Amino acid sequence: MNKPIRRVSIFCLVLVLALMIRVNWVQGVQADSLANHPKNLRTKFDRYAYPRGNIVVAGGQPVTKSDFVNGYRYKYKRAWVDGPMWAPVTGYSSQAFDTSQLEKLEDGILSGSDSRLFFRNTLDMLTGKEKQGGDVVTTLSPKAQKAGFDGLGDKKGAVVALDPRTGAILALVSTPSYDPGSFAGTGDADSKAWNALQADANKPMLNRALRETYPPGSTFKLVTAAAAFESGKYQNVTDVTDTPAKYLLPGTNTELKNASANEPCANATVQDAMDLSCNTVFGKIGAEVGGDKLRAQAEKFGFNNDQVDVPIRAAESTFPTGSKPDGTAMDAIGQHDTRATPLQMAMVAAAIANDGRLMQPYMVDEERAANLTTISKHTERQLGQAVTPSTAQKLQQLMESVVANGTGTKAQIKGLKVGGKTGTAQHGVDNKGLPFAWFMSYAKADDGRSVAVAVVVEDGSNERDEISGGGLAAPIAKAVMQAALER
């Protein structure tokens, strides 16, 4: 072979080797990044080329479906059953605007692209069966969800219900809500619906149950009481507090007032102070226990944790660091810089009801293939021991007394043991915003079943004097607890 031909041959061989290396690099190394690239429309088209799996609630009821539309690029479109009620749980799956929440986090199972479904998909391909996504089975109770959604109605707010023994989420409601089916496609109507939701000042697409934090108001007094018992400051719920009729915030001339000047909060017992929701008593307890111990107790209940995934990540509930004594007194009654999600306050109620054991909250119980084969099953996990069983029992006494004798009487349920705590949280510049109405509670049946609930109502009334946790939020919590424990 002459020299020029040999050079050309070597050059061609190098080109072939370079091509082989490039092809293997693309297929082996860049495959995932290219498949998931935002501009790779084939992935999006493929997602809706066959029926998407369903999100299923307790009892086997699917709350999603796939409608056959036989479009040019999309063969199927996502649809929902009672979309606004379930949107805070499912999120949306839109051909034009991507996915969110469970639809996004569980997309691999729902779309059938999860590697754990490879064998099933291969078998279907060989047998000529149409590819189909798997199902995601949640812990949500349809009855409890509907009770919370109907209870909030046209009010702005949220409801969370948990099984204290397992951490299973039984209800997750956020209002105002939206219909994910209104923008599931790619047409002009879908774009208009999406743009209207983005412009809505009421933020219907905000998941208030998980992603919004509020001052918890007087519901936080249970955390303050827990710190008082755990630190040894008080031993029993009948212990008398050394509380003056007028309490000045430490280091200031500012008087901390109670909801009513006529409330007998001076030297009240811990139980009477909780029944009446005395700001003076628990503000003073907080200042005396101190910010460090209060914060440590709050963190045992789940505050200051930015890794709470259910599997949707919840916003971090916070108890502040570095407050001055007067600020600590306000932190102790759920004001100042204390912030909590409805999920967090449901976790507090659940831990108290569960004798101090705080369980990891979760809403996905099972992932399964289209043929109902189980792919994964949730394992219950304890996050920690928020308080000792002894302290938990004292807190239960306090909560049950609030419902029997105090500000939470509207949550009483015949045949169930109910404990609760009301809260009316001030907010806004100089506290000029309409207060938030809170109620956190639990209910126990004789057969051992239980449920913990937190309700927040943002705008229950146009009149400040008509806003109270006992009046607005407690009846909603009652309905949810009844629905959750109904046979």
- The residue extents of the domains of the chain are 211-363+382-485
- Using alpha carbons only, give the angle 198, 212, 221 rounded to the nearest 5 degrees: 160
200: pLDDT confidence band, cut at 50, 70 and 90? very high
Considering the candidates 218, 401, 441, 468, report the single residue annotated as catalytic.
Answer: 218
Average the pLDDT over 431-452 and give the result. 89
Residues 148 and 152: their CA atoms lie apart, in Å, by 6
pLDDT over threshold 60, residue 474: yes
pLDDT over threshold 90, residue 113: no
Burial class (CB within 10 angstroms; exposed 0-12, middle 13-18, buried 19+) of 398: buried
pLDDT tens track for 291-336: 999 999 999 999 999 999 999 999 999 999 999 999 999 999 999 9
pLDDT of the residue at 7: 77
13: pLDDT confidence band, cut at 50, 70 and 90? confident
1: pLDDT confidence band, cut at 50, 70 and 90? low
In degrees rounded to 5, what are phi and psi of residue 345? -70, -30
- Largest distance between two CA atoms of the chain: 112
Contacts of 261 by beta carbon, 8 Å cutoff, 6+ apart: none
Is the domain 211-363+382-485 a CATH 3.40.50.300 member?
no
pLDDT over threshold 90, residue 274: yes
Residue 420 pairs in a beta bridge with 441
Handedness of CA 134, 59, 359, 282 (dihedral sign): positive
pLDDT of the residue at 465: 43
Residue 229 pairs in a beta bridge with none
218 part of the active site: yes
CB count within 10 Å of CB 288 equals 18
Q: Are 250 and 299 in contact (CB under 8 A)?
A: no
pLDDT of the residue at 19: 83
